[in-house]
Amino acid sequence: MGTFIANLALVAPAITAFFEGVLVMDEDAAVRENRLALLQGVAGLAKGVADLAQLEGF
């Protein structure tokens, strides 16, 4: 768990930049689906380590 948290801290700036600079819910359905799939993949990295569903708004 400690390694996961440490690595998450390293990518936090990139995740923040993504949400500040990218409209996930784009009008173009293909773009929107691609971005949502990307986010699901990132969320899946925590599987077995942390339950991200416990986070507010997740």
Cα(18)–Cα(4) distance, integer angstroms: 20
Q: Which domain holds residue 38?
A: 2-54
- Chunked into runs of 10 residues, the chain (58 residues) has average pLDDT values of 83 90 96 95 83 78
Beta-carbon neighbour count of residue 21 at 10 Å?
7
**Domain total of the chain:** 1
**Global confidence as pTM:** 0.68
Q: Determine the pLDDT at residue 23.
A: 95
Q: Which tokens in the block code for residue 30?
A: 């293909």
Tokens in use for 55?
Answer: 């986070």
Amino acid code (one letter) for 29: A
Q: What is the DSSP letter of 27?
A: S
Note the pLDDT of residue 28.
98
